[in-house]
Structure 1
Amino acid sequence: MSELQALRFYFDPISPYAALAFWQLPEALAGHNVVVDYVPVLFGAMLKANGQKGPAEIETKRAWTYRQVLWLGREQGLALPAQHPFNPLALLRLAWACAPEGQTPSRWVVEQVLNHVWLGQGADANAPERLQALAERLGPRRSADEEMAKQRLRQATDSALAAGVFGVPTIEWQGKLFWGQDALPMLCAAMEGDPWFASGAWVDAGNHPAGVQRL
């Protein structure tokens, strides 16, 4: 059996690309001996920390994003929620409320949360009756409104930022960060020993100088 590989999957249910990457992960990692920690983080806090706008806050990019994800997720039945962007805090805290102390939420919990948003046939992700039904299905260990759930979300987001995570989904493997659903082939290549990663090209690309900085 191949050596066990540890991955961390940073996500926010507000991101359709996080859902797409989550659904594709088992097939992408087929044949690899892996353990995955699923880490809910607040994407909005990352945008604020880096002085960025989200894709849905730029009108033309928003239109493209919706067109692309609907095309990419057509086989899974992906549908845009009634409002997007929306406030994901209730879902993020619920996910953490389901996690055992010292652990991250299970894949099943994450799947239910992402499906709630993106396979909901266009329903409101924050509709109270839908959130209640989701919570009853998940059976959290504590209330999502408790300070512990809020604190774990804050700590996870701060730790992700400290590790260099700037967007979702991001997968961390051996200190390297792979951002976006379209980075899955690159991640698999690295795990399979692609010589490019040992050639110094990864480090060199990250240190490439900027020619101009926009004020």
Structure 2
Amino acid sequence: MKTLQFYFDPVSPYAALAFERLPEALVGISYQVEYRPVLFAGILHVVGQKGPAEIESKRQWTFRHVAWLADQLKIALDTPARHPFNPLPLLRLAWATVEPGQPAGTPNRLTVEKIFRHVWQSAGADANDPVRLAALKQDLAPKQDPESEAIKEQLRVATEQAIALGVFGVPTIAVDGRLFWGLDSLPMLAAYLNGEPWFDSGAWEAAAVARPGVLRKH
């Protein structure tokens, strides 16, 4: 059985769709998932990119695209009242549901599902509304204080580990040292887990070799 590491930030609609789609995309495959909340903004800062919602034309395309994808996949998706929003309260809450003293522990699927649906399946409500956040916290019954220094450090370390692994966006699924980025990589992930020969032919490595080309001057 393979262990998949699912890197996500609830601010991402693509991560929300990938989360909902994952069981169907991998039906018939034996696997287990470690859900790893990370700060997307922190990753963007390191790789030197703006978020999709920070570029107006890209923001418009992103939400048109995810609305169409959700319709095609028959997945409920409601854009929250404010986006982008600060995901830190939700990220910290996710990590706080893990029992203290479990260094390898990660939030379970039910926790992650409730967090994603709090954002993306709540009739367009504000994800950071204090009343809603309080209700979600009560529902999840965290084992640790989400605002504790230990939880803040856990999120920071998880984000840094993701960056060190090569994660540049969310959602990213890591398995066997390979990274599969985005909702549209799920069929490719399924092919790998099913043992498609292409992945052991050298094509994976060859495709990533840099070719000399024009470099943009900054």
TM-score bucket of the superposed structures, by smaller chain? over 0.9
Q: 2:48 aligns with which of 48, 51, 56?
A: 51
Aligned to 1:72, the other structure's residue is in SS state helix
Partner AA of 1:86 in structure 2: F
Gaps of 5+ in 2: none
Hey, what's the Cα distance between the residues in 2 that align with 1:107 and 1:211? 43
Q: 1:37 aligns with which of 34, 39, 53?
A: 34
Hey, what's the Cα distance between the residues in 2 that align with 1:214 and 1:56? 24
Hey, what's the Cα distance between the residues in 2 that align with 1:77 and 1:158? 32
- Write the mapping of 1:34-113 to structure 2, written as runs, cut at 5 A: 34-74=31-71, 75-100=74-99, 101-102=102-103, 103-113=105-115
Partner AA of 2:119 in structure 1: V
Deviation digits for residues 138-179 of structure 1 (CA, Å, limit 9, x no counterpart): 000011101111111001000000000000000001100000
Deviation digits for residues 22-52 of structure 1 (CA, Å, limit 9, x no counterpart): 0001111111111100000000000000000
Hey, what's the Cα distance between the residues in 1 that align with 2:160 and 2:3? 20
Gaps of 5+ in 1: none
Residue matched to 1:133: 135
4+ residue segments displaced more than 6 Å: none
Asked if 1:148 corresponds to 2:161, the answer is no
Aligned to 1:30, the other structure's residue is in SS state coil
Hey, what's the Cα distance between the residues in 2 that align with 1:76 and 1:199? 36
Query: How many corresponding residue pairs?
Result: 212
Structure 1 residue 133, shift from structure 2 partner:
0.3
Structure 1 residue 210, shift from structure 2 partner:
4.1
Which 10-residue stretch deviates more, 87-96 or 142-151? Answer: 142-151
Partner AA of 2:82 in structure 1: Q
Hey, what's the Cα distance between the residues in 1 that align with 2:200 and 2:212? 24
